[in-house]
Chain A
Amino acid sequence: MDVKNKISRRKFLSLSLVGIGGISLLSLGALNKKPISKWRFFTENEVLILDALVEQIIPTDESMGARDAGATNFIDKQLMGPYQQFQKDYRDGLKLLQQSSMEKFNSKFEELNWENQTILLKLIDKDELKHSHWEKGADKKFFSMVIRHTMQSFYGSPKHGGNKNNVSYKMLKLDTPIIIGQNRYK
């Protein structure tokens, strides 16, 4: 009894002493911790361009648009998974889109007003963007890919990172999760 008590008291003392030391040390470490980016592949700058791009593809109206529904998050996530093959396309494509924007409007794409963003994208869509750094047809190809992925993010299952709170299913008045009964035994 006595011995046990002694040990536990000694243990308690030492534990608390070193514990306090540990707290101070680890807190210092925690203070120095850099904030971790929530993006897996994209840089913050790329996110700005892509957010603007996906919002053009599915704009906000009476219901949420692609940006707020997490399209960029979806693409970011898939690029580290099944869409690894498209990493380079995004890295290059976003850079070139920015260059085209600078060239045509002397402004960053994400800072262009809505109409000018649309004008630029329509040129790309019609394959009419003339003076440019893109290889022939590469701009349209890139844009088509982003359209495809944005649609997947917005109209696919939210578990892949987009379609926040089933926003598109609500928009389409599609019960999700589906209400359906089982076959009951009698």
Chain B
Amino acid sequence: MKNKHVNAIVIGAGAGGGAVAKELSFAGLSVVLFERGGWAKYDDVYDDELHSQRIRALGQAYGPDDARHCRVIENKDGSTKIIRPSDGGFSEVAACVGSGTVSYGAMAWRFMEEDFKLKSIYGAVEGSSLSDWPISYSDLEPCYEKAEWEMGVSGDETQNPFSPPRNKPLPMPPFSHNKEALILKDAALRLGWHPFPIPMLRNSVPYDNRPACYRMRTCVGFACPVNAKAGSHNTVIPKAIETGNCELRINSLVSEILVNDNGKIYGVNYFDADNKQQTQSADVLIVSASAIETARLLLNSKSKFFPNGIGNGNDWVGRNLQGHLYTGAYGIFKDEIYDDFGPGASIALCDFNHHNEGIVGGALLANEFIRMPYQFSEIRPKGEPYWGLKHKEFQRNNFKKVARVMGPLQEMPNFNSRVTVDPSVKDFWGIPVARLSGERLDADMKGANFIAEKAEKWLLEAGAEFTWQTASKGKGVSGGAHQAGTCRMGNDPKKSVTDPFGRVHETPNLFVADGGLNVTNGGFNPALTIIALGYRVGGYIANEWAKGNRFK
């Protein structure tokens, strides 16, 4: 049976796609929202560390599954390796309704004003394709606000002197600190730094018909048992569906964007839950499949009008793949600092996001989410054994005495860090898989060491008896769950993939709405920015539609 033509197709029900689907369906457009996975449930994993999205030892909790998905990593020497989702370095983003917003830690950061104009502030960086965003912070501010109020964010930005200007306070009060954070707070104040409670997409009080967080040990890597953690799956998507205008099509993997004989994009091919190929047509298409998968889909959609893939006329699709170089330090304290008051991450500071001497950009610093016992078994200072009695004793003596402070270092965009499609390796459905290549720049290494030193300083001031830095194991291929940059937005069609509203330059009706748009990735977890971009793109399309624009 042929699928009924709709106004809009949204590909990927994650952070960006959820917001787009909500904006469009509220504006009266008929929408089909595609998601390659199904509904994730707390019951799928409970608090089982070995299945959590962070550990993945016994398989991916919320997908994608090892059996049907893979990617290729290209090393510096040109050698390649096929990797599965549960392997390290896959750069997985969950395959389920809500995607990463189901199992993320839910930090709700706005990028700072500086993050939108790095090039103007710092100048060119060697080896980097650094550029300003085509939009400023104030352009995105209303979208941030919408994200914060429609999905629900707890926090108090007035405690952060580096916080960018805002029109409206956060809708919920901040979370109270756990024991570790209280110790760190005093230490930071002694150092003259500016600690504050981390803004979270998590209810500190009941909000939007969802209960308050009851502070489990297991949060990041797991679904929330009470829906206190806000994701697109329990906020915007159900609301979009409720309008009656949005159909969520789960377990449906979009394989190709279709172009008609006039060169006009008119729909997609997808594999349904029974792996049967189907077609869906629409007036306007929004790809929000995550930076890597969005690039893969555009590159895989080749036709005589787009011989190198859609939007790739100037070879920019898939370029500038960025993630975050996580960097920081561990510290062992004399007394127990662990009080089992979840989820752990509680305190942060933005003193080192910008204006650090000799460093371009920087990172926030925050204490880490609770490390479960298996994960902790792999955390040892250099020289400590990884097995035997000493290992067991370390585990017993220090499990409740170790704190970690770290931050997501803003990586410099790099033209050679990229997503391509592999010429030979295909997934279960026969679609060429993404190949990741390139490496980080020297500037990133320098920044990583700088942030790690600051983290160590903080821990020492807090009273840690022994500390060690975790800067980086090497440059490596970028990506990760914070993947971004592959469909850069810009004003110049020759040097970017989309316009400032996410529309792919070469097309009238194809949009991107995920981290792929990010010109630079901020020294912050990018979820709230991706959601805000979803609101921006969705809001723009809805407005244009109301004016009669049909994107022809």
Contacts and interface: CB of A to CB of B under 8 A. Distances in A.
Asked whether any CB of A lies within 8 Å of a CB of B in the complex, the reply is yes
Given A57-B387, A59-B388, A172 B212 contact: no
Given A57-B388, A178-B216, A159 B206 contact: no
A121 B377 CA distance: 19
A157 B400 CA distance: 19
Interface stretch (B10-18, B43-51, B428-436, B516-524): B43-51
B214 A78 contact: no
A168 B373 contact: yes
A180 B226 contact: no
A141 interface: no
Interface stretch (B27-35, B257-265, B389-397, B451-459): B389-397
Contact of A56 (B47, B58, B215, B387): B387
Contacts of A168: 373
Contact of A147 (B49, B340, B376, B387): B387
B386 interface: yes
A178 B386 contact: no
A58 B50 contact: no
A175 interface: yes
A156 B214 contact: no
Interface in B183-221: 206, 211-212, 214-217
Interface residues of A, number: 35
Nearest to B58: A82
A166 B388 CA distance: 20
Contacts of B50: 152, 156-157, 160
B387 A58 contact: yes
Interface in B364-396: 372-374, 376-378, 386-389, 391-393, 395-396
B70 to A, nearest CB: 13
Interface in B382-427: 386-389, 391-393, 395-396, 399-400
B388 A56 contact: yes
A155 B373 CA distance: 5
Contacts of B393: 61
B57 interface: yes
Nearest to A162: B50
Nearest to B84: A85
Interface of B: 47-50, 57-59, 206, 211-212, 214-217, 226, 340, 372-374, 376-378, 386-389, 391-393, 395-396, 399-400
A178 B388 CA distance: 28
B399 A156 contact: no
Given A180-B215, A181-B214, A157 B373 contact: no
13 contacts: A121-B387, A125-B387, A147-B386, A151-B378, A155-B373, A155-B374, A156-B49, A159-B48, A160-B58, A168-B373, A172-B395, A178-B47, A182-B214
A177 B378 CA distance: 23
Contacts of B372: 155
B42 to A, nearest CB: 14
A63 B376 CA distance: 18
Given A82-B59, A174-B340, A180 B387 contact: no
Contact of A178 (B206, B217, B373, B391): B217
A183 interface: yes
Given A174-B340, A174-B399, A183-B211, A156 B389 contact: no
B335 to A, nearest CB: 13
Contact of B48 (A61, A148, A156, A171): A156
Given A152-B374, A178-B216, A181-B214, A173 B400 contact: yes
A175 B342 CA distance: 13
Contacts of A155: 49, 372-374, 376-377, 395
B interface, over-half SS? loop
A169 interface: yes
A58 B48 contact: no
A106 interface: no
Given A155-B374, A172-B396, A183 B387 contact: no
Given A155-B377, A183-B226, 14 more contacts: A59-B388, A59-B392, A125-B387, A147-B387, A150-B387, A155-B49, A156-B50, A157-B48, A159-B48, A160-B58, A173-B399, A178-B216, A180-B216, A183-B212
Contacts of B211: 183
A24 interface: no
Contacts of B57: 148, 152, 156
A164 to B, nearest CB: 14
A178 B339 CA distance: 12
A86 B467 CA distance: 36
B391 A58 contact: yes
Contacts of A169: 373
Contacts of A56: 387-388
Interface string A66-92: 000000000000100110000000000
A90 to B, nearest CB: 16
A132 interface: no
Contacts of B206: 183
A118 interface: yes
A173 to B, nearest CB: 7
Contacts of B377: 151, 154-155
Contact of B388 (A118, A152, A174, A182): A118
Contact of B392 (A61, A160, A182): A61
A138 B150 CA distance: 54
Contacts of A152: 50, 57-58, 374
Contacts of B59: 82
Given A59-B389, A157-B49, A151 B340 contact: no
Interface in A42-74: 56-59, 61, 63
A120 B221 CA distance: 38
Contacts of A148: 57
Nearest to B50: A156
- The 3 closest A-B CB pairs, nearest first, are A155-B373, A155-B374, A156-B50
Contacts of A59: 388-389, 392
Contacts of B217: 174, 178
Contacts of B388: 56-57, 59, 118
A121 B385 CA distance: 12
Given A157-B50, A183-B211, A172 B399 contact: yes
Contacts of A156: 48-50, 57, 373-374
A169 B392 CA distance: 13
Given A156-B49, A171-B396, A180 B214 contact: yes
